[in-house]
Amino acid sequence: MRLRRTAVALLLAATAALSTPATPASASAHGGHRDHFPTGTATAPDGRTALTDAQGRHLQLRGFNLDKYAEATEADLKSLAAQGFTLLRLPISWTRLEPERGRLDPTELHRLQQLLGWADRLGLLVLVDFHQDVYGPRFGGGTNGIPPWATRDDGLPFTPDPNDWFAGYFQPAVQAAFRHLYDDPDLRTWQADFYTRLAGELRGHRSLLGYDLFNEPFGPVDGDPSDPAVLAAASAALEQGRLADMYRRLIAAVRRGDSRAWLFVEPTVLVGQGVPTRLPGFTDPRPGAPRLGYAPHFYDTAVENGADWNPADGFVEQYTAAITGYPTANRLPVLVGEWGPPDSRTPGNRQLVRRQVAAMDGFAEGWTMWYWCHGNGGYCALDPAGHPAPGDEPAFGPYPVAVAGTDVRTDVRTDGATVRWTADGTGRGTELLLPPAAFPHGVQVTVSPAGARVEVEQPADGHAGTVRIRLPRARPGTPVTVGLTPR
């Protein structure tokens, strides 16, 4: 996503119409993927499906996107891990990895392997994102997206709008390209073959969580896209038809190369304005329990277009109401792949970040904010000095990464945080992560009920700390409350 999505304002109307070292400090502090790789799921009575580790603990995975992975450095991954995050979403480009049909570029593949190797050593998990924006480089996307040799535009016109990149999706040439990608047997085969070969190349990495199968899918709009009913109908038809068929092909394609990875499907961007997805359920052909998930994005259209967030616009409430039905019906864990305002420094957007973090705590098992970079605005999560950007502090708050219980909720405040859950009675340990930005001088911990065994590990080198809690005598169903206060 980027700024200036004027065309996406149509979605608002559509809503109304529908009603290095082997064990670096950062890895040893929180265990990283060695402890927190999700091996299964557990579905609560309310229908929410959690990711679980090998011990059966409920997991929360949090992190950031890396923009333009070829420019990311080992230092970027080290700083992300040091801040207490366990997950990064890694956009990749089919164009760059397969510039000629049938040949993976060795330089690009080596770079991707190198990034995963750094994540292996740092204890991070990686979600590989098959990224595209406005299809591919034929339509001004640089080297991002679907390669020119897989682009068929029927000679139709394409006129870019420098003030609204998203409007390019409605250009006749782009519409034709998507239609061919979904419909042409040879393009289907070539795309699936690329997914299979890449999955086979990457499957040995311990850090590889899995794949986000297609970033922000779009497709043909038969009719006037300025008509909200037309746009909504096109989105529903795509999700129920062409896109669903693509996901079935790509799930099968990745499984030919990797049976361990988690596979996440995305809805169209219309879900961001409170319109529930029409995607069907999917079957995972891997042996054993399925490893499928749902990875929507969480963007406010007005904020994307440069406005300061208006808390009265109902965005968070509409999104939250719309996002839960599909994963509940299909027992899928939710991982929000992209979210965050382009400028977190304005008063409304500061509130938006806090509200989004709180909302995702209620419906998602993890998230990756857009994105990990240094700067003054422009989505950068860090200021030039490497501290959390003003307004983004709630994303750098403490959180429970692995909990021996259910109904987990976190309340982050300026004076600390409270974490609550319902004990499962197993006596297994719970782990809370303490980003140094939130607890630079240590933490005071209180636990109810009494009798808990508490261990606090707070490295002196500025890396994230960990609170480990065991409740050996807590019965199943016991409410647990943990207070975290900065020293």
* Selection from 317, 295, 438 nearest residue 370 by Cα: 295
CA 137 to chain CA centroid, nearest Å: 24
Residue 486: inside a domain = no
Structure tokens at 318: 């509409």
Residue 204: inside a domain = yes
CATH at residue 265: 3.20.20.80
* Selection from 416, 419, 435 nearest residue 469 by Cα: 419
In the sheet that holds 405-413, the strands lie side by side as 405-413, 416-423, 479-486, 443-448
pLDDT tens-digit readout, 319-378: 999 999 999 999 999 999 999 999 999 999 999 999 999 999 999 999 999 999 999 888
Is omega for the bond preceding 211 within 30 degrees of 0, making it cis? no
What ranges in 167-279 are assigned the alpha helix state H?
172-183, 185-202, 228-240, 242-257
Residue 485: inside a domain = no
Please give the span between the terminal C-alpha atoms of the chain, in angstroms, as a whole number. 38
Residue 480: inside a domain = no
What is the value of pTM for the model shown? Answer: 0.93
Residue 282: exposed, middle, or buried by beta-carbon count in 10 A (0-12, 13-18, 19+)? middle
**Residue 113 · residue 126 · CB < 8 Å:** no
Dist. CA 86–CA 207, nearest whole Å: 10
pLDDT tens-digit readout, 384-417: 999 999 999 999 999 999 999 999 999 998 889 9
Residue 438: inside a domain = no
Comparing 64-68, 113-117, 205-209, 385-389, the range with the smallest average pLDDT is 64-68
User: How far are the Cα atoms of 2, 97, 223 from residue 226, in angstroms, in the given order?
Assistant: 20, 36, 9
**Which residues lie below 8 Å from residue 428, measured CB to CB, with a gap of 6+?**
55, 56, 57, 404, 470
Total domain count, the chain = 1
Structure tokens at 451: 């009798």
pLDDT tens-digit readout, 259-318: 999 999 999 998 887 889 999 999 999 999 999 999 999 999 899 989 999 999 999 999
pLDDT at 52: 97
Dist. CA 461–CA 113, nearest whole Å: 29
Residue 48: inside a domain = no
Dist. CA 183–CA 416, nearest whole Å: 53
Dist. CA 183–CA 485, nearest whole Å: 56
Residue 461: inside a domain = no
Residue 102: inside a domain = yes
- Domain residues for the domain of 176 are 6-20+61-396
Structure tokens at 232: 């909504």
* Selection from 82, 70, 3 nearest residue 340 by Cα: 3
DSSP state of 3: S
pLDDT tens-digit readout, 150-198: 999 999 999 989 888 889 999 999 999 999 999 999 999 999 999 999 9
